[in-house]
Amino acid sequence: MKFRTIVPNISTLQNKKRIASSYVIDYKNLDEQVLDAALIKTGPQYYNEENVRETLARLLFHPDRNVRILYKIILKTILLNQDDFLMSQKELDQCVIDLEQEIVNASNEELQYRNKEKNRNIELFRHVLEAAWDRNDNISPDEKNLLEKLRIRLWITDREYQILEAKLGRFQMSNVN
């Protein structure tokens, strides 16, 4: 794994400490060189399959809705489509902004398919999504869990979900800068 070569290239000490907070003991008091060595030593914990799955599940149902939105945009839509799954922070920020704008622009068009069942599924999901938003100005992790299970069951894509939220005026564009 390229973890050993990535650590020294993490842009700021603050970002290194944020990453170290998961597995490095007393990371707050370490200088940058010692912190780099500690990150490299604990590296296998960061890419252990079980730890990765747990982290992805925590991101999917994170209490902060912006984290839930950005997780999918950054990991699933942008980085997984890069050759080395890497890009600079500046490029990533611009890609996030561009993708969010695409979603908002797409929400101005109607989601219509030739398949009547798909159209019914979209309408049902939209109705449930509206109901979830009716109660307050946020989707709780429990509501997100139910919506995610329904989304999968109805064969609604992540992109369609995001467009439907944008149609409801609920797709909050992030502030990546």
- Cβ neighbours of residue 123 closer than 8 Å, sequence gap 6 or more: none
Is residue 174 assigned to a domain?
A: no
Is residue 58 assigned to a domain?
A: no
Domain shared by 90 and 21, yes or no: no
Domain shared by 41 and 71, yes or no: no
Domain shared by 40 and 87, yes or no: no
Going by the DSSP 8-state scheme, the letter that residue 137 receives in this structure is: S
Is residue 57 assigned to a domain?
A: no
Q: Say whether pLDDT at 176 is over 60.
A: no
Is residue 99 assigned to a domain?
A: yes
Strands (E), the chain: none
Domain shared by 108 and 160, yes or no: yes
Is residue 54 assigned to a domain?
A: no
Average pLDDT of 4-8? 84
Q: How far is CA 8 from each of CA 19, 27, 48, 65, 68, rounded to the nearest angstrom?
A: 13, 16, 20, 31, 28
Is residue 60 assigned to a domain?
A: no
Is residue 161 assigned to a domain?
A: yes
Q: How far apart are CA 131 and CA 116, in angstroms?
A: 23
Residue 129 three-state SS: helix
Domain shared by 150 and 80, yes or no: yes
The residue count of the chain comes to 177
* CB-count burial class (<10 Å; 0-12, 13-18, 19+) for 89: exposed
- Per-residue tokens: 29: 């008091």
Chain centre distance of CA 137: 20
- Residue 105 banded pLDDT, cuts 50, 70, 90: confident
Per the structure, how many domains does the chain have? 2
Mean pLDDT lowest among 15-24, 104-113, 117-126: 104-113
- Which of 3-17, 50-64, 150-164 has the largest mean confidence? 150-164
Confidence (pTM): 0.66
Domain shared by 159 and 124, yes or no: yes
Domain shared by 37 and 101, yes or no: no
Q: How far apart are CA 160 and CA 104, in angstroms?
A: 11
The range of the structural domain enclosing residue 147 comes to 65-167
Q: Mean pLDDT of all residues in the chain?
A: 86
Q: Say whether pLDDT at 177 is over 60.
A: no
Three-point CA angle 167, 170, 173, nearest 5°: 105
69 close to 77: Cβ distance less than 8 angstroms: no
Q: How far apart are CA 155 and CA 125, in angstroms?
A: 10
Domain shared by 16 and 43, yes or no: yes
Please name which of 41, 38, 13 lies closest in space to residue 26, comparing C-alpha atoms. Answer: 38
Domain shared by 37 and 71, yes or no: no
Domain shared by 128 and 93, yes or no: yes
